[in-house]
Amino acid sequence: MSARTASIVAVFILVVVLVSLLRRGELLGAGPVSIAFQVIAVLLMLWARLTFGRRSFHAAANPTAGGLVTWGPYRYWRHPIYAAVLLFLWAGVLSHPLEPVGLGLVVLATLMTAVRIRSEEHYLRAEYQGDSGYDAYARRTKRLIPFVF
């Protein structure tokens, strides 16, 4: 399967997971700690979107015009929007009594996020090559958790 197709399938599955968790009542935090984590996730996502600027979202994970973004939250990790999405989802699901379906859905969302990340990185490496390209950026920043992973 091509990176483009994998990315589109992953987006579709992520939307299905999101709607499923919402319908099951497991998406939104159930206590002050989980709600705080979800507020942090929303703020991180907003910061990343504002830093990213007017660039559009691509279901196929194509790089956007305007160069590689390496400032704002992107200075600390390569995928702050995906980090925010995962933080939001895990905080919501873990704040409810653990059920196999809810846990399975959030694991599926995590796997689909990994597919999106791999697809995007495939395109970014091809688009931004050279000493100051994506590989150099990837060596100095982490994917999802600053200074860790």
Domain assignment present for residue 44? The answer is yes
**Among residues 35, 145, 41, which one has the least CA distance to residue 92?**
35
Domain assignment present for residue 38? The answer is yes
Least confident of 4-8, 28-32, 58-62, 84-88: 58-62
Q: Could you write out the DSSP letters of every residue in 71-96?
A: SGGGGTBS-HHHHHHHHHHHHHHHTS
Question: Can you give the pLDDT at residue 68?
Answer: 86
Domain assignment present for residue 146? The answer is no
Number of structural domains (the chain) is 1
Segments forming the whole domain that contains residue 45 = 3-140
Indicate the SS3 state at residue 33.
helix
Question: Can you give the pLDDT at residue 40?
Answer: 98
Question: Can you give the pLDDT at residue 76?
Answer: 93
Model confidence over 51-92: pLDDT tens digits? 987 776 667 766 666 788 899 999 999 999 999 999 999 999
Average pLDDT over residues 121-141: 87
Q: Is 85 left (phi over 0), alpha (psi -120 to 50) or beta?
A: alpha
Domain assignment present for residue 148? The answer is no
